[in-house]
Amino acid sequence: MTRILITSAIPYINGIKHLGNLVGSQLPADLYARYNRGRGNEVMFLCATDEHGTPAELAATKAGKPVDEFCAEMHGIQTDIANRFGLSFDHFGRSSSPQNHKLTQHFAGKLAEAGLIREVNEKQVYSNADGRFLPDRYIEGTCPNCGYDKARGDQCENCTKQLNPTDLIDPRSAVSGSTDLEVRDTKHLYLCQSKMKDTLDTWIDGKADWPVLTTSIAKKWLHDGDGLQDRGITRDLDWGIPVKKGDQDWPGMEGKVFYVWFDAPIEYIACAGEWAEANGKTDADWERWWRTDKGADDVKYVQFMGKDNVPFHTLSFPSTIMGSNEPWKLVDYIKSFNYLNYDGGQFSTSQGRGVFMDQALDILPADYWRWWLLSHAPESSDSEFTWDNFQQSVNKDLADVLGNFVSRITKFCRSKFGESVPGEGEYGEQEQALIADLTTRIRAYEAHMDALEVRKSAQELRAIWVAGNEYLQSAAPWSTFKTDPAKAAAQVRLGLNLIRLYAVLSAPFIPTASASMLSAMNTLDTSWPEDVQVALNALPAGHDFKVPDVLFAKITDEQSEEWQARFSGTRD
């Protein structure tokens, strides 16, 4: 049994996430977690809400609520939506937790001891209209690199270039929109990433199995221009983790907090501590996942994220971990994704463009969305959501292939043999050929899943569904029954066992439908098909079942047109 630690990029607290956010981190992470649990591996799947920094303050101000109250409320909302999407986190934590406060301050102290933090007197943008210094994300303007007119003061979300607020063309306050800005002196702490450059370079060179997207972004930040730069880790904000060296005050840093991009990745570790407290566990229970001196040396750690998060997870967070000189577990594999675009444009939380997770669930059950998003995951390049493609994929894959198979075989069995698995007949040459074909396909499916090839996994799973349909069409038990009822019974018995097999294989993608299939087959047997011959005899003769409700209803042209019109604008 392998032990696998999984984290997905933690979503900002500032609002409900759109489908692009979902497919870029949490959903494929859940796919991998469910698959590995199904294979019998021990999994720890962690995520949390990212509650500090500009997005939280701005959203709370807009909502007219204190920021702590707003964050608590939004954590509850995001937790509920995640549950309804079937995201199987072992714990969904909060970066504002006491555990993350303590651990972030601990890391800062260790980095200071190692000589990797320096104080910098710098100039920072001050808004006269707002009466405050503006952290990077409080400043918007035009990106000097690509010309995007809504770039933020820390990074352009369009081209992902790291920026400083003073780099922006025509900067303005994100709070008030005022252009009455000036530059004033202030003092902040910087993480000396430049001192870690060679260490990081060697570490990344050793990750030959990482996706090209991940390594290319990391290498670009390491070597382009002036190379890896030191990074500010404090901000002039009220809401956040107070700057301390462990439990000691940090002279000159009074009233400042740690930068959200310093404390947010540390929450991955702190989240395990939150899990332990919530479940009556000990420190040893969570440390075995995160400390190599406490058992984490045999853990495989996999991260999932969109490409805009790659620089922080390949450079900044590893600098924190390595720089602490403590035995923390480093990531083994980073699965990064390109962007999912929406109907000719971009999904955008800040601009409210696209379908958001709560809206999606108001329209259709989660499995419809899970299947489309994962089968169209933006792995090698950006992909695009269109309503026509969504309708075609749902109707052809889920309704016509999987749903139709389940409906046909169960209804036929009920009409000819009743609602129990028929016992007559043996599997013949045609059935053995199908078993051989499925064995090959299931091993290929496993290989793609192990390699975190999401789209190829979906394609292979669909091919496994198709194989059952083609067998059913060729065997035609409804015709066989007229001349050889025993042979027809064997064909039906195989078909009913295929439903259980499909439920097990499909659970990582469509867990609700999988549970429905298992319920219809009256079984709790979710054993993985290591031997397909054995798997297709799991439901014995005489085993009762019931004909399930329709697994997937087709999307009509009228529905597709209505939804396209409804979501053509921005979210209110």
Q: Is 47 annotated as a binding residue?
A: no
Q: What is the pLDDT of residue 511?
A: 98
DSSP 229: P
Q: Is 156 annotated as a binding residue?
A: yes
Q: Is the dihedral of CA 458, 463, 466, 471 positive or negative?
A: negative
| Total residue length of the chain | 572
> C-alpha distances in angstroms, 54 versus 21, 59, 67, 207, 459?
19, 8, 11, 34, 41
In three-state secondary structure terms, 110 is: helix
What residue has token string 């999912």?
Answer: 340
Q: Is 71 annotated as a binding residue?
A: no
Pick the CATH number of 386-535 from 3.30.559.10, 1.20.1640.10, 1.10.730.10, 1.10.260.40: 1.10.730.10
Q: Are 379 and 455 in contact (CB under 8 A)?
A: yes
DSSP 51-73: --SHHHHHHHHHHTS-HHHHHHH
Q: Which residue type does 388 have? A: D
- Distance of alpha carbon 319 from alpha carbon 203, whole angstroms: 11
Please write down the long-range contacts of 515-524, taking CB distance under 8 Å and 24 or more positions apart: 516/548, 516/549, 516/551, 517/406, 517/548, 517/551, 519/548, 520/406, 520/410, 520/545, 520/546, 520/547, 520/548, 521/496, 521/545, 522/546
- Distance of alpha carbon 19 from alpha carbon 16, whole angstroms: 10
How far is CA 490 from its chain centroid?
42
Say what the alpha-carbon torsion angle 154, 158, 161, 165 is, to the nearest 10 degrees: -30
What residue has token string 């009256």?
Answer: 522
Q: Which is nearest to 154 in space by CA: 51, 261, 9, 240?
A: 261
Q: Are 465 and 402 in contact (CB under 8 A)?
A: yes
- Distance of alpha carbon 319 from alpha carbon 323, whole angstroms: 5
Q: What is the pLDDT of residue 351?
A: 66
- Distance of alpha carbon 267 from alpha carbon 368, whole angstroms: 31
pLDDT in tens, the chain (572 residues): 799 999 999 999 988 999 999 999 999 999 999 999 999 999 999 999 999 987 788 889 889 999 999 999 999 999 999 999 999 999 999 999 999 999 999 999 999 999 999 999 988 888 999 888 887 878 999 999 999 999 998 889 888 888 888 889 999 998 889 999 998 888 999 999 999 999 999 999 999 999 999 999 999 999 988 789 999 999 888 899 999 999 999 999 998 999 999 999 999 999 999 999 999 999 999 999 999 999 999 999 999 999 999 999 999 999 999 999 999 999 999 999 999 999 888 877 666 678 999 999 999 999 999 999 999 999 999 999 999 999 999 999 999 999 999 999 999 999 999 999 998 889 999 999 999 999 999 999 999 999 999 999 999 999 999 999 999 999 999 999 999 999 999 999 999 999 999 999 999 999 999 999 999 999 999 999 999 999 999 999 999 999 999 999 999 999 999 999 888 766 55
Q: Is 202 annotated as a binding residue?
A: no
Rounded to two decimals, the pTM is 0.92
> C-alpha distances in angstroms, 545 versus 411, 485, 525?
11, 20, 14
DSSP 298: G
Q: Is 192 annotated as a binding residue?
A: no
| Structure tokens belonging to residue 94 | 């909060």
